[in-house]
Amino acid sequence: MLLVRNGRKDDLPRVIELIRELAEFERSLYEVTNSISAMEEDGFGAAPVFGFFVAEENGYIYGLALYYYRYSTWKGRRLYLEDIVVTESQRGKGMGKLLFEAIMKKALEENCTGMMWQVLDWNDSAIEFYKRYNTRFDEVWINCHLDSEQIRVFLNRN
């Protein structure tokens, strides 16, 4: 039986596997540096910074939707869907839909003004999936980031 539920600490080994599978799909496996211990602290420690849902069937986890909250100066509290992944062999069976709709419900339950996420411009199946929800795609903003090592190097120069 297919079930979507809140993630638990004991799910993290499988969650890391799904994260690696997603990174491989996105051609970026080499960028994964997260660990079970870091996720234990960051998700279940004194000040959790993320939550997640899992999709499981017959006790085995096939899907993940990881989220956190961000604050928009214009809109207020927003739910940010960091990643949604369903293992390749289970795609097309409705797990992604159930996970995505669990995230949508969570946004409303937490009185968020909406939700946000990113999708790779070449991931046509994901883009088509999100279009079913009347998603607004933003083509104006450019994503930016600095890794901690880049920050250290810059700050140590000054």
Return the active site residues: 130
| Closest alpha carbon to 79 in 125, 111, 112 | 112
Token digits of residue 142: 């450019």
Distance CA 90, CA 111 (A): 32
| Closest alpha carbon to 5 in 59, 42, 47 | 59
16 phi, psi to nearest 5 deg? -60, -40
CA 61 remoteness from chain centre: 15
Token digits of residue 41: 């602290």
> How would you class 41 by CB atoms within 10 Å of its CB: exposed for 0-12, middle for 13-18, buried for 19 or more?
middle
Other CB atoms within a 10 A radius of the CB of residue 89 amount to 8
